[in-house]
Amino acid sequence: MEKITGKNNEIIKGVKKLFTSSKERKAQGLFVLEGARLVFDALNSSYEVETFLITESANEKYFDSSVQMQRKSKNSYFISDTLSQKISETKNSQGVFAVCKMKNENISLKTGQKYIALDNLQDPGNLGTIIRLADWFGVSTILASTDTADVYNPKVVQSTMGALAR
């Protein structure tokens, strides 16, 4: 695996921009997962992983899962602990990141399925909690109006605690 060392690397800048800009996420159709649990939950999901980034220390700690993610992702890179902290949205980075393709599904409502419809829900943490609870209650689909918070906002993704991957 190639190692990225410079903070001015285009991949690092791109990941940081995906974290911070809803407009960029929508334009590229990509979003970022951060942390071992979220990233490795993507192994058993239908999300396509474009890029996998991991520190060498995290690679040692999560070796088996890291090898699986390297196989699933199109591109894999080692990054330094300093770069991990630079792109991280958390106070103490675990050194594990994945850039995934957003799902663009056409939904057809079916009898017998459970749905939730959301309108104008603005708080990302609340949206993530609703997604997590919907997963627990077996809701198959969440429909959200265009004025609802960005589903791929890092705070939403984090607060789903992996439910987004399911």
Within a 10 A sphere around the Cβ of 11, how many other Cβ atoms? 18
Q: 33 near 158, Cβ under 8 Å? A: no
pLDDT, residue 84, reads 93
Q: 11 near 132, Cβ under 8 Å? A: no
Distances in whole angstroms, Cα of residue 143 to Cα of each of 117, 127, 131: 5, 12, 11
Q: 123 near 153, Cβ under 8 Å? A: no
- Residue 98: in which H helix or E strand, if any? strand 96-101
Band the pLDDT of 101: cuts 50, 70, 90: very high
Instruction: Give the whole-angstrom CA distance, residue 43 versus residue 96.
Output: 13
128 secondary structure, DSSP code: H
Tokens of 156: 């939403």
Model confidence at 63: pLDDT above 90: yes
Instruction: Give the whole-angstrom CA distance, residue 123 versus residue 156.
Output: 9
pLDDT digits (tens, 9 = 90+) for 4-43: 988 889 999 999 999 999 999 999 999 999 999 999 999 9
**Least confident stretch, 92-101, 143-152, 154-163:** 154-163
- Answer yes or no: pTM beyond 0.85: yes
Q: 40 near 67, Cβ under 8 Å? A: no
